[in-house]
Amino acid sequence: MSDEPSTTPATTDRARSFGSVAEAYDRGRPTYPAEAVAWLAGGEAKVVLELAAGTGKLTRELVDQGHAVFATEPDEAMLEVLRQRVPEVSAKVATAEEIPANDRSVDVVVVAQAFHWFDHEVALPEIARVLKPGGHVALVWNSRDERIPWVRRMGDLLGRQDLDTSSAERLVHSDLFGFMEEARFKHWQEVNRETILDMARSRSSFAMMDEAQRERHLADVLAFYDDFGRGMDGMQIPYVTRCYRAVVVDRDDTGPSPDDREPDGPVVSDGSDTDMLLIDFR
């Protein structure tokens, strides 16, 4: 997902508007460079929980790098595309504010293009709760590189919400997490005359337009492409992938005694029990 924080009913509506454009989102949004995904996960194969996983752009790369991935997404239409793209992943409709996972059950919690939508006062304690000691949270945004003049013109047309990664500062000011590391990676997205329209359709602002506004907006996008694209050769859009991660702060074990604790693994099966299933998808 993308755009601004979900701290009001209006922005919550925008956060949940992507389902109506799920297919366009999947076709129009860029993927993530492999080296960025490796940095986010932090090395060897891990149990990874992805929050607000959207249509599975990041999910696919995490699985391909050997991680055991579980995905949550609040929008059923987005999640249905993810299930088609990454059928081997266990996925469930859920929010970051109520994570269906056992305490201390995952190595990494990762969020792509969506952390700014969360209610951080609720979501950060939930993320800290599900992380194992020594585990970390990782955030990532793809941002167009607007140092290039024609890319700035694209930003004038499509908006610049993806350039704002300031919500990552919530980790700095939280006593639940330690030092926040940052890294940047460059990559390119190839689009053509059709997929640039999907890029436009994938914005929450587009989903909130009426039909006449949508038609005008898409016409403006095509005019831009005709000015700067290369016909059948398409257009290469430069991106900077901005990554952040922070290790959860170790907590004293004040929970129930070992004899009183629930057994490891899922409490309620979702039909996909394996030795790797450490998450309770209630």
- Residue 28's φ and ψ, nearest 5 degrees, are -95, -25
| Residue 47 β-bridge partners | 68
- Is 58 part of a structural domain of the chain? yes
- Is 89 part of a structural domain of the chain? yes
**pLDDT reading at 153 higher than 60:** yes
- Is 155 part of a structural domain of the chain? no
Q: Which 3-state string (H, E, C) describes 91-160?
A: EEECECCECCCCCCCEEEEEEECCHHHCCHHHHHHHHHHHEEEEEEEEEEEEEECCCCHHHHHHHHHHCC
Task: Specify whether the CB–CB gap between 245 and 138 falls below 8 A.
Answer: yes
Q: How many Å is the maximal CA-CA distance in the chain?
A: 69
Higher pLDDT, 210 or 49: 49
Write the pLDDT tens digit of every residue in 27-76.
888 999 999 999 999 988 899 999 999 999 999 999 999 999 999 999 99
**pLDDT reading at 282 higher than 90:** no
Write the pLDDT tens digit of every residue in 96-147.
999 999 999 999 999 999 999 999 999 999 999 999 999 999 999 999 999 9
- Is 99 part of a structural domain of the chain? yes
The whole-number average pLDDT for the span 188-210 is 86
Task: Specify whether the CB–CB gap between 111 and 140 falls below 8 A.
Answer: yes
Other beta carbons within 10 angstroms of residue 73's beta carbon come to: 30
Write the pLDDT tens digit of every residue in 15-26.
444 555 678 778
- Is 194 part of a structural domain of the chain? no
d(CA 6, CA 50): 19
Displacement of CA 234 from its chain's centroid (Å): 26
Residue 127, CB-side half-sphere exposure with 13 Å CA sphere: 36
Count up the domains in the chain and report the number.
1
Residue 81's domain is classified under what CATH number? 3.40.50.150
pLDDT confidence bin for 173, thresholds 50/70/90:
very high
**pLDDT reading at 189 higher than 80:** yes
- Is 201 part of a structural domain of the chain? no
Other beta carbons within 10 angstroms of residue 148's beta carbon come to: 12
Write the pLDDT tens digit of every residue in 227-280.
887 766 788 999 999 999 999 998 765 444 434 434 333 322 233 333 334 455
- Is 126 part of a structural domain of the chain? yes
- Give CA separation, 269 vs 62, 88, 94, 104, 246, in Å: 23, 16, 16, 18, 31
The whole-number average pLDDT for the span 146-153 is 92
Question: DSSP E strands: which ranges in the chain?
Answer: 47-51, 68-73, 90-93, 106-112, 131-144, 177-191, 235-248
d(CA 8, CA 28): 27
d(CA 163, CA 279): 33
**pLDDT reading at 155 higher than 50:** yes
Coil, helix or strand at residue 36? helix
Find the domain containing 111 and state its range.
9-143+161-186+242-250
Of 207, 1, 245, 223, which Cα lies nearest the Cα of 108?
245
- Is 4 part of a structural domain of the chain? no
d(CA 223, CA 193): 10
Overall size of the chain counted in residues: 282
Of 129, 146, 127, which Cα lies nearest the Cα of 137?
127
Tokens (6 digits) for 107: 């190595």
